[in-house]
Amino acid sequence: MADGHPTYLWWKGERRRWEEATVHVTDLGWSTVGAVFEGIRAYWNPDAGELFVFRLQEHLDRLVRSMKLVRLPLEYPVEALTEAILDLLRANETRGDTYIRPLAYAANTSGKRFAQIGNDAELLINTSAMPSHLLTGLTQTAKVSSWRRIADDVMPPRIKNLSNYRNGQLAGQEARLDGYDTAFLLDAQGKLAEAPGACVMLVRDGRLITPEVTSSILESITRDALLILARESLGIEVVERQVDRTELYLADEVFTCGTAAEITPIVAVDRYDIGGGEPGPITRRLERLFHDVLRGSEDRYVHWRTPVGVAAPVPA
């Protein structure tokens, strides 16, 4: 770590020093309109002296799907990207919770017009510290946004295209200016879609309910993991279906989930109290189990964790 940033990042096929990775200012513009990215997290386990990347394979598989959909060619095999990420974490001597962001974008767009952008793809992977907020007691309030979630016949919500995020940004800004922490976006049919950077789950009568992947949501890896944990390990009935706005107001528990959001309890929606303003019991149980799975203190789901081997020597 130097000057608040890691020593290395990975760019154009190799690990490089942070300072070396620059592009010309005229590349600002079209280069990231079609860009796709991943948000991956690694968790530090102080007892094991090890860093664990959560569902690395699934994240890279989604990156490949995102690139396919926006027609960016992938120049590197997934195995090479896996190794690049592990090498980067080792070289940066990462000993704390970390966010890993691969970004595939169009290179050489300088001076080009919208219609001229070719398919030169470039790939950057950088890391930054991102401490977990699990088990810290963080809660949020939410507002149902006046912005609708982009629909699949407008832009592809199921992938991580950077342009999609303008939709969530507008909703998030509106919510914060109106005095809420986050936003819930409805889909084109007026049913619940998701939050700006997270999926939404609710509990009613002991059942865990969440919109289907056809409800204009990202194909979330955390959502998938939590549905498995709830069903398999906690014996909770899980229902994927359309969710009405008013169900949010009447829910016993509501939380957002995602790589960055982890599990974030929502204690009020549009100023309706949820569960008396406190995180509910199912949210708490899931949060505990998810924490232990992520950090590597739970023996099950070991296949979801890639140990980095931070103690291993790294070639200069």
Q: Does residue 66 interact with ligand PMP by CB under 6 A?
A: no
Token pair 């991943």 in the structure block, residue: 38
Say how far residue 291 (Cα) sits from the centre of its chain.
16
**Which residue is catalytic, options 12, 112, 143, 160?**
160
Contacts of 40 (CB under 8 A, 6+ apart): 53, 54, 55, 56, 59, 85, 99, 100, 101, 102, 259
Q: What burial class does residue 89 get, using C-beta atoms within 10 Å of its C-beta: 0-12 exposed, 13-18 middle, 19+ buried?
A: buried
What is the chain's alpha carbon radius of gyration, rounded to the nearest angstrom?
20
Q: Does residue 92 interact with ligand PMP by CB under 6 A?
A: no
Q: Tell me, residue by residue from 111 to 150, as one string, x for binding to ligand PMP by CB under 6 A and - for no binding.
A: ----------------------------------------
Q: Which is nearer to ligand PMP, 88 or 195 (CB)?
A: 195
Distance CA 282, CA 249 (A): 17
160 flagged as catalytic: yes
Q: Does residue 102 interact with ligand PMP by CB under 6 A?
A: no
Residues 12-41 contacting ligand PMP, CB under 6 A: 39
Q: Tell me, residue by residue from 237 to 276, as one string, x for binding to ligand PMP by CB under 6 A and - for no binding.
A: ---------------------xx-----------------
Q: Does residue 98 interact with ligand PMP by CB under 6 A?
A: no
Distance CA 304, CA 61 (A): 14
CB of 49 to ligand PMP, least distance (A): 26
Residues 160-219 contacting ligand PMP, CB under 6 A: 168, 194, 197-199, 218
Q: Which is nearer to ligand PMP, 197 or 275 (CB)?
A: 197
Please, are residues 268 and 278 in contact by the beta-carbon 8 Å criterion?
Answer: no
DSSP assignment string, 143-183: EEEEEEPPPTTTS-TTS-BGGGHHHHHHHHHHHHHTT-SEE
What is the set of active-site residues?
160
Give the interface with ligand PMP as residue ranges (CB under 6 A): 39, 168, 194, 197-199, 218, 220-223, 258-259
